[in-house]
Structure formats: C-alpha cells, structure tokens
Structure 1
Amino acid sequence: MPRFLAEKLRIIPLVYQPEPAFWFAAVRHLPYAVWLDSGRPVSHYGRFDIICAAPQQMLLTQGGQTRISDHTGNSRDSQDDPFYLVRDLLGDHENQTHPTLPFIGGAVGYFGYDLGRRIEVLPSLAADDIALPDMHIGLYPWAIIQDHQYQTAVLVINEALSGSLQSAYNFLEIEQLCLNASQKPMFHDLKQFIKNDNISFEINGFESNLKVEKYREALTRIQEYIRAGDCYQVNFAQRFSADYSGDPFVAYLALREVLPSPFSGFMQLETGAVLSLSPERFIQVRGTQVETKPIKGTIKRGTTDAEDIANAQWLQNSQKNRAENVMIVDLLRNDLSKHCTDVRVPALCELQTFANVHHLVSTVTGQLNEGATAIDVLRDAFPGGSITGAPKIRAMEIIEELEPSRRSLYCGSLGYISADGQMDTSIAIRTLVCDGNKIHCWGGGGIVADSETDQEYRESIAKVQVLMQTLEQQFKH
C-alpha cells in the first residue's frame, strides 16, 4: 500500500468480543450507526464485523436527486449518477488493497432496489409507499473491525480519507469512546443487555399485500409472458407489513439469534431502521479479484434429521431449481464481463444450509479490468440478477407491473466500498425495513415455465416465516 496512505492510517488494537453486538451497542447512540454483521458467533460462514457511526458525509438519494451533507450541517444537491457520486467522493485509491483489513474507512450503507431506475428506464406502476431513500450511504473515516478467524478487534482511523472530504473530524472523541468501551468486561448476554438498558419493542401481526388469488393471477401472467418469449425467469415477491413501536435494535438482536447469516446488517436511520439477515453475497472485490455468489433454489429444513437430509437431496437433484440457478449464473457472467476478464464459474449449484432453509449457491469470478473500479462493477450489475430474472430489464418491467408496491431496499444491496478499492455487498433478502411506525419484509422466488403456483407461494412464505414468527412470538402486543 502506498506510503502516503499508510502514514495516514492508524490501527488501534481493541479487546476482541466473541459477541460483536457489544461493539455496536457501544457506538449506536452516534448518528447513522451501521453494523455489517458476520452472524457470529452462531453462523460460521462470515468472518468480519464492520461497525461505524457518525459519518463525515452522507449521500441520500430520492428519485432523481441526491443530497450530499457533511457532519457540520452543510449540504448540496446533485442530479448526477448516485453510484458515481460515491466513487468520486471516495477518491482514487484502487489496487492499493490493505493486506489484512477488508475496510479502511469509506462508504457504508445501502443501495435500494429502486435505484435501478437511475440505470434503466422502467415504468412507474407500483405504489411508492415507503419513504426511505433509494440510496443511503455514509462516508465513514473510521470503523471498528472484528476478525473472527484470528479473534482480533481494531479501531481503524483513516486521516487521508477524512482530509480528502475537506471538513474537520473529531477522531479523539471516537478513539476515547472505543478505548473506554474496550476496558469493559467481555460481553456475552444479549438478554441482560436489553433488560439493563430498559428498551423495548412491540409489534402486531404481519399481513401480506397479496391475497392468494392475486398471487395466483400474477404467476399465471408471468408464465404467459414466459410462453410468449418475453422472458425466461421472473423473481416475484409478496410483502408482509405490521405496525411496530419501540427500538428496532431489540428486534434485530432476537432475529440474529434464530437466523444467523453471514451478510447480515443493522442500520439506524433518521426515520426508521434496516434489519437484514441476508445469506447472499452480491459482489465482492479484493484487489483485482471479483466474486458473486447467486442463490437460486430453496427448500425448507426438515423437522427430523431424515426429512432434512431428504429435502436437501431433493433440492440438489431438482432439475427445475438447477435450471433456475444456471440461468442466473449466465446473466451474472454477462454482467461481470462488462468490467472483468477471465470470467469463470468455479462452483455450480453447491448446497448451503441455514437455520430455516437449504439453498443452491453458485460462484462466479472474474479479474477486474485495468482502470475499472469496484463501483463500476456494482453499478453495471445492479440490481442483482438472482432477484430480478432473465433477461433482467424485461423481468424488472414485469415485477413493476405485478407487484403492488415498490421494493424499497428489498433486493437491493447492503455493504461497503473501502477507500482502498475493496468492496463487499449483499443481496438484501431476508431483510426488514422500519419506516415510520411500519415494519416490512418480503418473500419471493424465481418463477419459470414449470413453476407450480402453490409450491412457489409456500416457498415465498417459508423464506421469511422464521423472521415474522420470531417477532410475533416474542414481541406481539
């Protein structure tokens, strides 16, 4: 890594916490707190936790306009491409990857599904009834990073990034806060934490925005489009909504216990929150190595060991599910090839098992072209093919026609772009958003020519049933 950047990068050791919620709890009182959560200690797929708050700048996109504001209150509006706004504010540090840290300060937040309207021309038919921004990105010159493989925790302070953002930042306050928290005993008991802080969460029952009859009508229409040659596959979802009150972080702590996932995350927003329990990577960039891991093919876990094994074997042998997966792999190979060479598929339709379902997961890799950036790859593959369909634009048009409401963050992406060019992003499935006094989550699946309506309907519920049941059982008033 270049000497000028290394001299401006401070890495301060902290006390490793097996339960990473400790570190988020220590800083979540600061504005725009974000926790990119590995799912540890229960999940073993993830490795790093990235926790930050009090960004130096914020970029909030709504429709055709992005508001860029700094922590001193100054702001300006731009109609430029929001992806490129993030890229330009991060500066040019590509191919200078830190050897051990995934993130050395940079952009953290979400790119909502409807940000795709800034890339492609789409109809406006579905109700736009969630007020959260289409893009919610903070530029954070510091972060707490836990590496669960080596059981280390550090505070990273990037004074070079802070200087390029051209507004003073109080790193001393952040450093003291983290060092003071590091003196506390090891943190293990989430329930005790909730009780001590006297915080609460309440919810009523979730209701779908699609009756069964409407769901069946929509699938019939999708299959008519497929037979007519409009498309090969369409990802179709229903939304579940409930009223809530209290602190969404309490709900998130309960959810991550029952569904630990490697691409989870919690974001504290001005008028709500994001609670993501995603199992799916969208795009990762490490130096010039690019990887995407689409999920297509799902079956619920069995209630007995024998049933669970049988379900997993059925999924692995399902020609329909494997065909769905291969369609999306081909789409993503094309998307990566826009900015990559040597695009390959080192793993096709591998089985991955989570608390509630089995999945088929493939891996597509490539080598980043000279002059291309992580954000270029993200933008030109956005939104992810695994949650749109093939061909992508026509599938998105059909989604807009048949889903009653826009998707907001759902099927967008949550993650980070580091100042040194590294990136890791999720597909925002198994994700809930809090907007005002409403909490929403979505369940969907890929519809193809031989999809069975009742099975697809059951699958769309099974994917998020554990989320809804957990909240209703623990917090329903």
Structure 2
Amino acid sequence: MPEIKRITLPYQASLLSLYQALRALPYPALLDSNHDAFSDTKFDILVANPLARIYAKQGAHHIEWRDDQADTPLYTLTDSDSPLSTLEQLLTLSTQEPWAKNAPKDLPFTGGLLGYYGYECGHYVETLPDNVLHDISLDQLSVGLYGWSIVSSHASSTTELIITPWCSIQEEKSLLTQINKALSLAPSAALNSDPIEPQSRPRFVLKTPFVSNMTALEYKTKFDTVKDYILSGDCYQVNLAQRFSSHYAGDPMDAYLRLREVCPTPFSAFMELGEQQAILSHSPERFLLCEQGRVESKPIKGTIARGKTPAEDKANADTLLASEKDRAENLMIVDLLRNDLGRTCLTGSIKVPKLFALESYANVHHLVSTVEGRIEGVDQSIRVFHESFPGGSITGAPKIRSMEIIDELEPHERSVYCGSIAYFSVNGQMDSSITIRTLIADRGRIHCWAGGGLVADSKYQEEYQETFTKVGKLTHTLEHDFLK
C-alpha cells in the first residue's frame, strides 16, 4: 500500500530560502511562524503547485484541476451551490484514502487543503447584505489541494519534504533537484535563515503614500452611527475598519521581507496568487487550531501601544490589563466564540482555560483569551471552521447584526482582511489565522486595513487613533523604505 514519504532536509529555522527557490511554481504559499522572534512557535509550512484549486468570486465558484489531472481528476464531486460544501466534500474524500488514514500525527500538514478565505465568504455561511464596492480583483476564496509540503518542526529542529502518493515520481525528483540546488547554492542561508536573493524580479517601489478610504469626519459619522445602534439595542459591539491604499511596482516579497523584520508575528504568511497578486500577512491572531480532535481559538480584543521606555511600556500593559472596557469587549467575543464552536463541537466540551492574557508585539500589547472544544472525525475540522467563519473578534456581537452594520458603513469590500489563511490536513490537523495586519498586492495597487471594536463607552478620538496605531508600523515602514 502506498504511504507518505518523509525526506529529511537540513533544518531551516525559516523556509524563506526554499520559498524563493520554488516560488516560480503555481500558487506557492509560505506559512511563516517567525520562530526566531517567537521561540514557542511549532511549525513553518511551504507548499506550491496544487493538484486542484477551488476559487470563488461574488457568488460563483469553480474547481480547476492541474493539467495532469484535467482528464481524470482524483475525485468526482457532486454539484454544490457553495464553495464551502465543495471543500468539505474534497477533504472528506481525501481523508478516506488508505494512506491518509495512516498519515503521521506529529506533522501539521500531510497533504490536503491550504489557502485563504476572504471576509466576504461569510455570505456562504449566513444571509447577509452586499452593498459595498468590490474593487479588488483577488478571488473571494482560493484554496489548493496540495500533494506535497515542506515542514520545519522547530521543537525538534527538523525540516522534511512530505510527499503524498498523489505526487508522481517525476514531481518528487524535480522538487528534490530544485531544493538541493537551492541549499548547495546558499549553504549559509540554510544555517542562518537568510533568504536567497530574488532572481530577475524588479525591486518593490511604493509610488504614493497610503491614503484612507475615510476622512476623519467620515469616520466620526460612522462611529456615531454605530453608537446609535448600540444605544438603541441593535448590537453590543461593531468592528469598524478603514482601508489604506497606495500604488506600487516591483516584487511584493521585498515588502514582505522588510515588514517581517520590523513586525514579526507568529501567524505570518506570504502567498502568490497569479500575475501581480500576493497576500502579505503579518497577523498576530489565531482563529482556530485543531490538534488530535481538540479545537482552540484565541480571540484578540483589547489593544494599547507599546511604550517608548521600559517603564512606560509596563505602565501601558498594566493599563490594558486593568481596563474594564477592554475586558468587557474581550468577554463579549469569548461568549460569541463559545456559541460558534457549540454549533459543531461535542456537547459539554467548550471551555475557557485562559481569559484576558497579555501578549506583546512590536508596536502593541493585546488582550488574548483562549476558548476550547472537541470534535470527532478527521474531516470535521473544516466544518468547525466554516460554521464559525468569520471570526467574532473582527465582526462584533451579535455577529450577524454587526456584519449587516459593517456592510452598511464600510464603503469597500474587506477582501482578505478579517478573513483567514488556513490549512486542513488529511491527518485531521488544522490551523488558521485571522488576517489582520495584512496587505494585498493587487496588480499595481496595495491595500491594508485597520479597525477596532466599538462598544457603548468607546470614545471617538481613542478608537480613531487605535486604527493608526495598529496599521502604522506597516504603512510607515513601506513609506520610509520604498517610497520614491
């Protein structure tokens, strides 16, 4: 019986060099834990050249098989009105492969689905209005079925090429040739985590400063509308965001590498989606994790800027920890997530082991809680994800009403922002981020967003400034380093 192959490679504390070597393949993706900055992170994952890609745009979805699969695809799927149902079918069929049932459990990804879900995929979960301007050409959703991966396991200091029986001998040989060439050309890169220089790609250049899609007055008008909804009992909290946009030329990976250096986060990712399209994610926030049937979510609610001195930094952290407003806001989202996970997790399994924990990043402190549940079945992780999407920490409460208000007040689609980058492995493992602190490079235009949860006692100036605090490290770095 065919089985998964595990081919040992020299340990890579970062997979950036190997990504550079393989990025010419279709739909490459790097899930990047920034292990050097976050020593407790577990894995980095690199994939490319999926056997199939499921993508959606404004209601229509498609499955596109790779050329060598076009005539006789791996699976025949029943028709569905929703890309989420198609993905669930595909994962179920994949996990039923005999080799998948014996897939090792110590790896996060042993073949399966990996990609991104835009915020607007919430329309496939709930009935919602759609009045925003759709001016971004990226697909609403793009998820690949990947037959191989490179995984760095930081706890054991190992890096492996994982080959599933879906891969041909020719594909395996080609991969090993490219990997060995990259490692032989840059042995120091393998040891020191320095990326190989991009080849034949023009340097990233930012052509204009970032500009918001709201003036300060427009933000205040929308802020006041949210407060009116809250005071009238429509909702308890709404996450209101503004978008910052610019124009660029050149290789977005230059920008990703620079932002990775100044804004390290444990759920970073770089994905290339076709001609002149890329996702540069520097997210600090997990959405859902599934390991051995245990589901975990870590919502972030509560933010304060880092201090300029150690004393000021500690004072800011203490202020956040003591903030009744931020604790109440965090608790609302914890309750929302308990409800979302309760749709699919086993009855009585929902727990909150951590409430209001402090986590610190380059430019901000956050309040983070942990919500847990349990599921049965290796193909059930994707159902938990779909039934909980999008994450409550970036919508508000109650979720559906908050999303209706967001649609009413925000002028443009959120696209990848506040969606998720996720993988669903055939061995039952799953992990996902909430794509905050995330930029989209879209054929010469680049966008990023920042928002905050508004509640009854929110103050306009504080909330408006918080959006700039969250996004400033990204926009200011690119403007300083790459602006003509």
TM bucket normalised to smaller:
over 0.9
Q: Which residue of 2 aligns with 1:396?
A: 403
1:87 match: 88
Question: Structure 1 residues 189-198 or 114-123, which shifts more?
Answer: 189-198
Asked if residue 347 in structure 1 is aligned to residue 354 in structure 2, the reply is yes
| TM-score, normalised via structure 1 length | 0.93
Question: Per the alignment, in what secondary structure is the counterpart of residue 462 of structure 2?
Answer: helix
Greater shift, 12-21 or 26-35, is seen at: 12-21
Question: How far apart are residue 369 of structure 1 and its match?
Answer: 4.2
**1:137 corresponds to which of 137, 143, 166:** 143
- Distance in 2 between the 1:469 and 1:231 partners? 34
**Distance change (3 Å), C-alpha of 1:277 and 1:397:** same
Is contact 1:96–1:287 with CA below 8 Å preserved after alignment?
Answer: no
Contact 1:45 1:261 (C-alpha < 8 Å) held by counterparts: no
CA–CA distance in structure 1, aligned partners of residues 446 and 431 of structure 2: 26
Query: Which residue in 2 is equivalent to 1:381?
Result: 388
Any stretches of 5+ residues in structure 1 without a counterpart? none
Alignment match of 1:200 (pick from 177, 182, 203): 203
Post-superposition offset of 1:372: 6.7
Cα shift at 1:100: 1.4
Equivalent in the alignment of 1:111: 117
Deviation by residue 1:138-171 (Cα, 9 ceiling, x = unmatched): 1110000011222110000111x559xxxx9723
**Alignment: residue pair count:** 467
Which of 210, 214, 225 is equivalent to 1:210? 214
CA distance in 2, matches of 1:96, 1:348: 37
Task: Tell me, yes or no, if the aligned pair for 1:339 and 1:369 is still in contact at 8 Å.
Answer: no
When residues 125 and 209 of structure 1 are mapped into structure 2, their CA distance, relative to the original with a 3 A threshold, is: same
Q: Cα offset for 1:124?
A: 1.8
- 1:367 paired with 2:365, answer no
**Equivalent position to 1:420, from 427, 432, 435:** 427
3-state secondary structure, aligned to 2:350: strand
1:274 — aligned with what? 279
Aligned with residue 283 of structure 1, among 279, 285, 288: 288
Secondary structure at the counterpart of residue 36 of structure 2: coil
CA distance in 2, matches of 1:318, 1:289: 31
Matched, 1:70 2:68: no
Shift of 1:195: 7.6
Q: 1:154 and 1:279, CA in 2 relative to 1: closer, same or farther beyond 3 A?
A: same
Q: Is the 8 A contact 2:378 2:428 kept in 1?
A: no
Q: What residue is the counterpart of 1:38 in the other structure? A: 33
- The answer for the alignment partner of 2:241 in structure 1 is 237
Three-state SS of the structure 2 residue aligned to 1:265 is strand
Equivalent in the alignment of 1:259:
263
* Structure 1 equivalent of residue 231 of structure 2: 227
Query: What is the alpha-carbon distance in structure 1 between the residues aligned to residue 302 and residue 288 of structure 2?
Result: 19
* One-letter amino acid of the counterpart of residue 296, structure 2: E
Query: Could you tell me the percent identity over the aligned residues?
Result: 45
3-state SS of 1:186 partner: helix
**d(CA) in 2 for partners of 1:141, 1:363:** 32
How many angstroms does 1:97 deviate by?
6.4
One-letter amino acid of the counterpart of residue 81, structure 2:
D
What RMSD over aligned residues (CA atoms) do the two structures have, in Å?
2.1
Query: CA-to-partner distance for each residue in 1:360-419, whole Å, 9 max, x for gaps?
Result: 000000111468700110010000000001000000000000001010010000021111
Aligned-residue offset at 1:65: 1.6
Q: Is the 8 A contact 2:352 2:370 kept in 1?
A: yes
Q: Is the 8 A contact 1:97 1:287 kept in 2?
A: no
Distance in 2, Cα, partners of 1:299 & 1:329:
19
